[in-house]
Amino acid sequence: MNECSDWVSAYVGFFERLEAEALNNLEAVFSASATFKDPFNAVRGRRAIRQVFEHMFRTTRSPRFRVHDWMCAGNAAFIRWRFTCSLKGRGIDVTGVSHVEFDGSGRVTAHIDYWDAAEGMYERLPVIGLVLRWLRLCLGACAPAEFPPGACRACVDSRWLARALLVG
């Protein structure tokens, strides 16, 4: 293994075992000026990163990250993961990818998450979720087995709007 592989293995272990108490050890994981970005946050520095995770632990139940796989390129890595939790009694299940950069000592200098916030969160909201589910059906490519020739997903047939209503 090379240095990047060692660093990613340690980082993956940190996330897969992440609990509120582990936030006391962020100086071993993130550089002082590290950046963290996801669809809801864009912060710099360990204190701000800690606040993001504290918020996650305050607002969700049983948050867990499970890493599927990862790859290194120089001092950077791409990590494919699954996040599950309960939020206000509803199960959340999100799959995403993180682009992570490390300094020469293996601490994270940048962590950027890429995941579909609409599918993972917004589509579960009562009013906006309906609109987003309808848009996803309307804008998506037609599946030949499901739709007659020339049909345009939800926009043509009202039963697809009914499906959007029921999916949430």
Q: Are strands 30-37 and 108-115 parallel, antiparallel or unpaired?
A: parallel
* Angle (nearest 5°) at CA 80 between 35 and 110: 10
Cβ contacts of 49 within 8 Å, gap of 6 or more: 26, 30, 34, 36, 43
pLDDT of res. 154: 47
pLDDT for 29 beyond 80: yes
CA atoms within 13 A on the CB side of 100: 27
pLDDT digits (tens, 9 = 90+) for 53-104: 999 999 999 999 999 999 999 999 999 999 999 988 888 888 999 999 999 9
Q: Are strands 90-102 and 108-115 parallel, antiparallel or unpaired?
A: antiparallel
CA atoms within 13 A on the CB side of 148: 2
Beta carbons within 10 angstroms of residue 99's beta carbon? 14
Rg over CA atoms, the chain:
19
pLDDT of res. 145: 54
pLDDT bin (cut points 50, 70, 90) of residue 50 is very high
Report the C-alpha gap between 34 and 43 in whole angstroms.
Answer: 8
Residues 64, 81 contacting (CB under 8 angstroms):
no
pLDDT of res. 53: 96
Residues 142, 153 contacting (CB under 8 angstroms):
yes
Enter the pTM of the model. 0.73
